[in-house]
């Protein structure tokens, strides 16, 4: 299975485990992530969930060769991007979280990252756009000009930089992200379950209208890209391991 789960008292750890593909998301992984999160949310003994990758890569985003499969009913893309969970979900990031990997982290309620972690949205380098909420969650979470730079250059940003800007909650030594995420989850676990659920439900309701507008804008961008020659060239260059020669249309 491309996803492993482990219990630490009331904390469920969901680990992406497709190391040979840098934890890139295919259809099987989308289904496995969704099933693991569904089970955690439906278990009253689970008070918080930690989602983690490997020691050097959190997640490389969509498996370009296979695609990420069908969005799930409860989780949407990757089984998590459109999830409305009243169980706290914490991303524990070691190494790189690029493209959909960064979007998975942004779909979580909190982010813990190692000091060696990096985050990026490199879709423009392939003639693509961020399609899993990056186009609106990044500018919501970051100052607009920083978001623009990330989305337009595709350059990675360090965990410490994102912590300074308020996106990453805690930065820890390499190898300690999962342990710190569990500790943060246990801190949340000390509080009233009803209060936690009501708070997360309220926060989701506050952002609901903004999300609807963001998804509409994302769909419009996707429709433009799907028919572009730049997209064809970007993907061809990726598979042929060469620099792209953009036609610009």
Q: Kindly name the residue from 41, 94, 123, 180 that is annotated as catalytic.
A: 123
CB 78, CB 101: distance < 8 Å: no
Q: Kindly name the residue from 41, 77, 94, 103 that is annotated as catalytic.
A: 103
The pLDDT score that the predictor gives to residue 215 is 97
Residues in contact with 163: Cβ distance below 8 Å, sequence separation at least 6, in sequence order? 113, 169, 170, 171
The pLDDT score that the predictor gives to residue 224 is 96
Looking up tokens 């949340």 gives: 188
The pLDDT score that the predictor gives to residue 101 is 98
Rounded CA separation 113/162 (Å) = 10
Give the start-to-end residue ranges of the domains of the chain.
3-173
Encode pLDDT of 124-146 as tens digits.
999 999 999 999 999 999 999 99
Instruction: For 3-173, give the CATH class.
Output: alpha beta
* Segments of the chain with pLDDT less than 50: none
Rounded CA separation 154/108 (Å) = 22
pTM: 0.97
The pLDDT score that the predictor gives to residue 1 is 83
Q: Would residue 103 show up in a list of annotated catalytic residues for this protein?
A: yes
Burial-class residue 176 by CB neighbours within 10 Å (0-12, 13-18, 19+).
middle
The pLDDT score that the predictor gives to residue 238 is 92
Which of 28, 184, 22, 176 lies closest to 108, judged by CA?
184
Q: Would residue 123 show up in a list of annotated catalytic residues for this protein?
A: yes
């Amino acid at each position: 299975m491309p996803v492993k789960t482990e219990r630490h008292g009331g904390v469920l750890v969901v680990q992406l485990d497709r190391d040979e593909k840098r934890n890139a998301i295919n259809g099987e992984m989308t289904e496995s992530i969704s099933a693991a999160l569904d089970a955690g949310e439906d278990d009253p003994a689970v008070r918080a969930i930690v989602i983690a990758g490997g020691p050097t890569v959190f997640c490389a985003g969509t498996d370009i060769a296979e695609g990420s499969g069908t969005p799930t009913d409860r989780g949407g893309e990757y089984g998590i991007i459109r999830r409305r969970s009243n169980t706290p979900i914490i991303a524990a990031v070691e190494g790189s979280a690029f493209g959909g990997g960064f979007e998975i982290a942004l779909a979580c309620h909190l982010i813990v990252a190692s000091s060696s972690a990096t985050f990026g949205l490199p879709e423009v380098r392939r003639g693509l756009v961020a399609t899993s909420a990056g186009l609106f969650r990044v500018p919501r979470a970051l100052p607009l000009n920083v978001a623009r730079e990330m989305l337009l250059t595709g350059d990675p940003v360090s965990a410490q930089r994102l912590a300074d800007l308020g996106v990453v909650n805690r930065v820890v030594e390499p190898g300690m992200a999962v342990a710190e995420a569990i500790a943060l989850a246990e801190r949340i676990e000390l509080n009233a379950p009803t209060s936690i659920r009501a708070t997360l439900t309220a926060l989701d309701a506050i952002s609901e209208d903004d999300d609807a507008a963001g998804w509409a804008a994302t769909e419009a961008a996707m429709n433009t890209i799907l028919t572009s020659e730049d997209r064809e060239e970007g993907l061809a260059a990726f598979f042929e391991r060469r620099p792209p020669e953009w036609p610009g249309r």
